[in-house]
Amino acid sequence: MQTFTQFLAEMSVSPSLNQLLHTLTKTSKEISHAVQHGALAGVLGATEQENVQGETQKKLDVITNDMLKTTLAEDSTVKGIASEEEDDVVAANTDGEFLVSFDPLDGSSNIDINSLVGTIFSILPAKDGELTQQQFLQPGRNQVAAGYVLYGPSTMLTLTTGNGVFMFTLCPESNEFMLTESNVIIPADTKEFAINMSNQRFWQPAMQNYIDDLLKGDTGVRGKNFNMRWIAAMVGDVHRVLSRGGLFSYPTDTKNPAKPFKLRLMYEANPMALLIEQAQGKASTGYETILDIEPTEIHQRVAVILGSRNEVDACLKYHG
């Protein structure tokens, strides 16, 4: 098996991107260690703080955000940082080549029940001039790399630098990420979907009708039975899609009219959409391709439908 270092050398990744990816993987190992210790380290439970999204922060949200912010700020290749847990962008190094956006602990509500969580990251090219939010407002197609680290029974890194999707498993003995899956391809067809069914009554008619037809199975117009899976952490549900196919969606809903969308474009939708497309899947809001969206602000939210290409197309037909 190749180590992560050997893989990057073989892929001819630039020295600066190589350095940044090693910074991210080094910090993810430290986060994995913190997650594994859980209650033993006193990191479970919530704080009394809210993030810019108005969500109560978990202790590990704050801890992992600070870990990533500190190590990335010390990396000379990083010009600026944007995090789901930060109100504004954070300046790092004036001459840095890259901008890094991240969700430090996706699915943090799962921490207290010892379920799947992960770190999602997106790397964009930096522009000349003073660091502002505007520098980060680039479409997802501009990403030079994206990925996530899944903290589960094993710690896994899934990465794309624009030339396919690769998965690495953290070896407990050597503390090295080892290449375990190359050129991941999502099956075009699937019989599996992931969605929060408790919100069904708040969805648009298009999504309600689509899911209704899936639930009718082989007695309905789709003519086949579907299984539903839901982990309540995007990183876990997308990992399953990349591993064996499927459709994942967090669609538009009217539960809170002020917030019709759940997932953040910069920290979740864009990096996951790049991984999905690089694995020959498809990612859409229902009405436009996620990677083509021109962001308007760093904490922008969007609807997400992604996964097996033919199944996403079937869903989009309901959206007209």
Length of the chain: 320
Q: What backbone torsions phi and psi does residue 224 show, to the nearest 5 degrees?
A: -155, 155
Strand bridging mode 98-106 / 78-83: parallel
68 is an annotated ligand-binding site residue: no
Could you tell me if 29 and 22 are in contact, meaning their C-beta atoms sit under 8 angstroms apart?
no
CB atoms within 10 A of CB 199: 15
Q: For CA atoms 188, 191, 195, 201, give the dihedral sign.
A: positive
Distance CA 50, CA 112 (A): 18
108 is an annotated ligand-binding site residue: yes
Task: From residue 167, give the alpha-carbon distance in Å to each of 50, 56, 238, 281.
Answer: 33, 32, 13, 16
Could you tell me if 92 and 217 are in contact, meaning their C-beta atoms sit under 8 angstroms apart?
no
38 is an annotated ligand-binding site residue: no
Residues 6+ apart with CB under 8 A from 18: 8, 9
Closest CA to 136 of 299, 305, 314: 299
Distance CA 156, CA 58 (A): 22
107 is an annotated ligand-binding site residue: yes
Task: From residue 256, give the alpha-carbon distance in Å to each of 137, 261, 263, 288.
Answer: 25, 9, 14, 22
274 is an annotated ligand-binding site residue: no
262 is an annotated ligand-binding site residue: yes
106 is an annotated ligand-binding site residue: yes
Distance CA 141, CA 146 (A): 11
84 is an annotated ligand-binding site residue: yes
Could you tell me if 236 and 116 are in contact, meaning their C-beta atoms sit under 8 angstroms apart?
yes
Could you tell me if 161 and 17 are in contact, meaning their C-beta atoms sit under 8 angstroms apart?
yes
127 is an annotated ligand-binding site residue: no
Burial of 121 (0-12, 13-18, 19+ CB in 10 A): buried
Binding site listing: 84, 103, 105-109, 196, 262, 268
Binding residues for Mg(2+): 84, 103, 105-106, 268
Which residues are known binding-site members for substrate? 106-109, 196, 262
